[in-house]
């Protein structure tokens, strides 16, 4: 069964209702007319369209409404009173109720929300969202619990996940299988370039045209290879758990920038690294975090003309570690900025030096930043440059 997080809206709505019922129940102890207050509470409890139950610290059901009885396949609530809710827990989800029990009665949390699976009297199962709050009673603290049948929503979510997983699998298999044909084409192009039959073409325009076409084929293969590499990297990123290690970010940046310094010098771009006097450490996955820097610096150099500047700045800001990559390049048009981090972004453009992008680079960058529990955003103005900011805890 896939995990799922309860929606904030449902939680707030149910929690508000439970607080109201809890307050109503509290009035029973202080109202001048306890019988009238008890009647009001019983009316709300019994007529709620959601499953309602009152449980004790052993998870035994003290009181049950008709909606919950119907959910579990009983004609009346009487068949449930005195039984533990664990009797109806799906075998794969018994731990959910153990967690609820500990969070409410051991950890003393005032409320708890979870999604779990229950088994009806006839053996069929259904998903429900459970919201439980503690309230005082003469016999000790009890749990007022609401259950909402979310089977349709879960079925739809599971269907969408299966479809997504199938699409991702097909995409990654296709991407992997296409690598060999592309490598073969590149090899053949290289062989044709050196083939005596091509170099001996008598008419120079015809010979140059052949070389031009071979160059275009090679470029197309390179671009396709870049796309396949990004697709496969993205699949690997989503499938693996990130193992992070404490790292001196200043030393890490110094080493990572070595290759880019050579490329920047060749393009006439000044590459500056600003580091604080004291070392800054962070828990990162070095290879994947390096991909962040590679993508940001590659983009900066693609769109910064000769004579421009790229500045990488590391500092502490408001208790966070902030990495800034700023260039004096072309900048990003305002209408494209909201789509920069989209998958296969429509904001991708050719660089100043004929470099092409896959539309996945900044999407991958954002995914890696978020895997590091960080945040990334940008500020940009056309003809003045672009600045990317990354904050890490």
Tens digits of per-residue pLDDT, 80-96?
999 999 999 999 999 99
Residue 343 above 90 pLDDT? no
Determine the Cα–Cα distance for residues 243 and 333; give it in Å rounded to an integer: 37
The mean pLDDT of 359-374, rounded to a whole number, is: 88
Domain contains 1: no
- Whether residue 139 is found in the same domain as residue 175: no
pLDDT number for residue 15: 58
Domain final residue pick, 182, 207, 239? 239
Which of 239, 258, 275 corresponds to the end of one domain? 239
Say whether both 57 and 165 belong to one domain: no
| Residues in contact with 157: Cβ distance below 8 Å, sequence separation at least 6, in sequence order | 2, 4
Same domain? For 142 and 221 the reply is: no
* Domain-located, residue 353: yes
Categorize the per-residue pLDDT at 32 as very low, low, confident or very high, splitting at 50, 70 and 90. very low
The model's confidence at residue 3, banded by pLDDT at 50, 70 and 90, is very low
pLDDT of residue 2: 44
Answer yes or no: is 2 within a domain: no
- Phi (first) and psi of residue 133, to 5 degrees: -130, 150
Does position 1 have pLDDT exceeding 50, yes or no? Answer: no
Q: What is the pLDDT of residue 52?
A: 94
**Predicted local confidence at residue 130, as pLDDT:** 95
In a domain, 337, yes or no: yes
Please indicate, yes or no, whether residues 234 and 358 belong to a single structural domain of this protein.
no
Based on the domain organization, do 162 and 232 belong to the same domain?
A: yes
Higher pLDDT pick, 47 / 2? 47
pLDDT in tens, 137-150: 887 899 999 999 99
Structure tokens at 227: 């796309």
Q: Verify that 70 and 122 share a domain, yes or no.
A: yes
Per-residue model confidence (pLDDT) at position 296: 95
Average pLDDT, stretch 286-309? 92
Among the ranges given (67-76, 168-177, 194-203, 242-251), the one the predictor scored with the smallest mean pLDDT:
168-177
By percentage, how much of the chain surpasses pLDDT 70? 84
Q: How far is CA 378 from CA 101, 322, 328, 339, 385, in A?
A: 45, 13, 14, 11, 11
Look up the CATH number of the domain holding residue 360.
3.30.565.10
Does residue 28 belong to any structural domain of this protein?
Answer: yes
- Indicate if 22 and 139 belong to the same structural domain: yes
Task: Provide the residue range defining the domain that includes 207.
Answer: 157-239
Report the alpha-carbon distance of residue 143 to residue 141 in Å, rounded. 7
Residue 374 lies in a domain: yes
Backbone angles phi, psi at 163, to 5 degrees: -65, -45
Residues 252 and 191 placed together within one structural domain of the fold: no
In a shared domain, residues 127 and 15: yes
DSSP assignment of 201-242: -SSHHHHHHHHHHHHHHHHHHHHHHHHHHHHHHHHHHHHSPP
- Helix/strand/coil for 341: coil
* Mean pLDDT of all residues belonging to the chain: 85
Q: Is residue 369 scored above 90 in pLDDT?
A: yes
pLDDT over threshold 90, residue 114? yes
**43-52, 107-116, 178-187, 270-279, range with greatest mean pLDDT:** 270-279
For tokens 């909201």, what's the residue? 338
Grouping H, G, I as helix, E, B as strand and the rest as coil, residue 390 is strand
Count up the domains in the chain and report the number: 3
Residue 116 pLDDT > 90: yes
pLDDT at 383 over 60: yes
CATH number of the domain encompassing residue 211: 1.10.287
Give 224-258 pLDDT, tens digit per residue.
877 777 777 776 676 566 788 999 999 999 999 99
User: Do residues 285 and 388 share a domain?
Assistant: yes
Q: Residue 3 falls within a domain, yes or no?
A: no
35-44, 47-56, 113-122, 132-141: range with lowest mean pLDDT: 35-44
Task: Specify the CATH number for the domain of residue 124.
Answer: 3.30.450.20
Shared-domain flag, residues 195 and 288: no
Closest CA relative to residue 282, chosen from 272, 273, 292: 292
Statement to judge: residues 85 and 134 lie in one domain: yes
pLDDT digits (tens, 9 = 90+) for 16-26: 666 666 666 55
Distance of alpha carbon 247 from the chain centroid = 24
Residue that is last in its domain, among 196, 219, 239? 239
- Under the banding of pLDDT at 50, 70 and 90, the label for residue 388 is very high
């Amino acid at each position: 069964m896939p995990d799922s997080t309860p929606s904030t809206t449902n939680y707030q709505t149910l929690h508000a209702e439970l607080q109201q019922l809890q307050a109503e129940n509290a009035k029973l102890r202080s109202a001048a007319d306890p019988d009238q207050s008890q009647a009001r509470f019983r009316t709300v409890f019994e007529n709620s369209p959601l499953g309602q139950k009152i449980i004790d610290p052993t998870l035994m059901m003290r009181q049950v409404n008709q909606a919950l009885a119907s959910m579990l396949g009983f004609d009346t609530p009487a068949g449930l009173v005195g039984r533990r809710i664990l009797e109806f827990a799906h075998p794969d989800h018994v731990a959910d109720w153990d967690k609820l029990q500990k969070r409410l009665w051991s950890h003393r949390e005032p409320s708890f929300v979870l999604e779990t699976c229950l088994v009806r009297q006839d053996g069929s199962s259904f998903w429900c969202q459970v919201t439980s709050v503690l309230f005082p009673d003469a016999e000790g603290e009890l749990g007022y619990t609401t259950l909402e049948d979310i089977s349709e929503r879960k079925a739809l979510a599971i269907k969408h996940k299966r479809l997504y997983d199938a699409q991702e699998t097909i995409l990654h298999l296709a991407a992997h299988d296409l690598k060999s044909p592309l490598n073969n084409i590149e090899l053949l192009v290289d062989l044709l370039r050196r083939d005596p039959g091509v170099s001996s073409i008598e008419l120079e325009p015809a010979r140059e045209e052949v070389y031009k076409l071979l160059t275009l084929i090679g470029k197309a293969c390179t671009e396709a290879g870049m796309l396949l590499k990004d697709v496969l990297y993205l699949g690997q990123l989503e499938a693996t758990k990130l193992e992070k290690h404490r790292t001196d970010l200043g030393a890490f940046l110094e080493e990572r920038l070595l290759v880019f310094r050579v490329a920047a010098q060749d393009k006439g771009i000044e590459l500056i690294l600003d580091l604080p006097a004291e070392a800054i450490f962070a828990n990162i996955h070095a290879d994947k975090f390096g991909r962040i820097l590679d993508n940001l610096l590659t983009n900066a150099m693609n769109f910064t003309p000769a004579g421009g500047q790229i500045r990488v700045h590391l500092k502490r800001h408001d208790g966070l570690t902030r990495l800034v990559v700023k260039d004096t390049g072309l900048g990003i048009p305002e209408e494209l900025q909201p789509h920069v981090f989209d998958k296969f972004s429509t904001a991708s453009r050719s660089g100043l030096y004929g470099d092409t992008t896959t539309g996945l680079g900044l999407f991958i960058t954002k995914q890696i930043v978020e895997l590091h529990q960080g945040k990334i955003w940008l500020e940009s103005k056309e003809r003045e440059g672009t600045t990317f900011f990354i904050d890490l805890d």
